[in-house]
Amino acid sequence: MTVDLHGLALSAPSDAAGAAFNETLRRYLAYEIESTQPLFDALAAEPDFAMGQCLKGYLLLLGFKQALVPVAAKAAAQAQRLSAQASPRERLHAEALSAWVGGKIERALALWDQIQREHPTDLLAFRLAHFNLFWMGRPQAMLASVRQVRPHWHEGLAGWGTMLACEAFALEECGHYEQAERLGRAAVALDPADIWGTHAIAHVLEMQGRHAEGIDWLEGLRNHWARGSNLVHHLWWHRSLMHLAQGDTATPMALYDTRFRKLDSPLTQAQPDLYIDVQNAVSALYRLEHLGVQTGDRWRELADHAASRIGDCLSPFTLPHFMLALLADGREQSAREMLSAMREFGASEDDIAPQVAEIALPLCEAMVQVHTGHAQSAIDQLRPILPRLAELGGSHAQQEVLQLFCYRAAREAGSAPDMDAARTISGRNFVGGWASRAIYATH
């Protein structure tokens, strides 16, 4: 019988297919490049593999890209067709994939929760829940999900470092920095190439204002990232924020071109519009321009990607980044088309439609209003949604760019109370993040 990395049964058609599944799962958990290759090659030769089709569909949907949904839907249909010969656990995965493909992420989360209750060492259900709860702005649920299964894990299990890193990041997002740092450092001690653990500690150090330590932390581990996926770009983006916090704008600009938005790198060329990379780039340029740095024509390629993704609303948090890029490049017509597409999606039955309609849409409308010289109208639009911005997902550090936009809108409108309100999101006071810096008083 073929089993996964934790000994759970796999309905693999051969030992080779099972091995390819496990290697792809290992690479996914480690944020390695070419993570899909072993599985996709195996499925090309042996497509009748229910759990393999599930993993294929899941990996495609992780990119939050509408163009990949039809391919994921085919994998879901295959998984459902084959699920009669699969185990009950695998049938739940097939149902969860079908739900996610169909825009029913709440149903998928419920199914992953059921899988974790019945099979608490299911690596895939655990990691997918962690990922999606984060992007739905639910850090407390993310932490609860980790703690539900943690007692069933131990150091002898594959992915133990992943468990520690996920708990560390969830703790950090819930403001438990001391615990988060301890677990994140433990994960990296087990494996210095643990990118998610490295990432968790970067967040802790950023939020506590320990920027010099953060730069040293990332510098000391960078040689372990050679096999890393695009999340490595995000680590370099974190480093750029730490330099900004020290008043250094030259280094972040250099890191933009040579590290996290290096346009000729294989990672960037393979996925030039990947949501996390677009978020990194837009938020970096917006911060730098706020500080008076000339960014040249760098907005143009980001605006090109934003324009090509109009109507793609699968990542609510990415939408305001797309809008900032369009407006920075002077594409008012594309911006209006984007708003129209968001309204249409917001009226759909997709589970994330409320995030788009109730938060992302008015935020993007406010961005257009500020761009066209109607800052007071923008502020009127922003006041009701300011406490809800965290529901778009993203970390404290990532949310800061939205906070900065709201601050700048209030300043342009001449509203001191709104400027004060915009220094925090959802009432959260960042200890060492953007909100505590003198930048608000000086720029």
Please give the chain's pLDDT, 443 residues, in tens.
Answer: 699 999 999 999 999 999 999 999 999 999 999 999 999 999 999 999 999 999 999 999 999 999 999 999 999 999 999 998 899 999 999 999 999 999 999 999 999 999 999 999 999 999 999 999 999 999 999 999 999 999 999 999 999 999 999 999 999 999 999 999 999 999 999 999 999 999 999 999 999 999 999 999 999 999 999 999 999 999 999 999 999 999 999 999 999 999 999 999 999 999 999 999 999 999 999 999 999 999 999 999 999 999 999 999 999 999 999 999 999 999 999 999 999 999 999 999 999 999 999 999 999 999 999 999 999 999 999 999 999 999 999 999 999 999 999 999 999 988 777 777 776 553 344 444 544 454 444 55
Maximum distance among all Cα pairs of the chain, rounded to whole angstroms: 69
Q: Would you say 209 and 430 are in contact if contact means Cβ atoms under 8 Å apart?
A: no
Burial-class residue 275 by CB neighbours within 10 Å (0-12, 13-18, 19+): buried
3-state secondary structure at position 167: helix
Q: Would you say 119 and 125 are in contact if contact means Cβ atoms under 8 Å apart?
A: yes
CA 23 vs. chain centroid, Å, equals 23
**DSSP assigned state of 246:** T
Q: Would you say 299 and 289 are in contact if contact means Cβ atoms under 8 Å apart?
A: no
Neighbours of 15 (CB within 10 A): 10
All structural domains of the chain with their residue ranges: 1-123, 273-443
Q: Would you say 325 and 304 are in contact if contact means Cβ atoms under 8 Å apart?
A: no
CATH 3.30.360.10, applies to 1-123: no
3-state secondary structure at position 184: helix
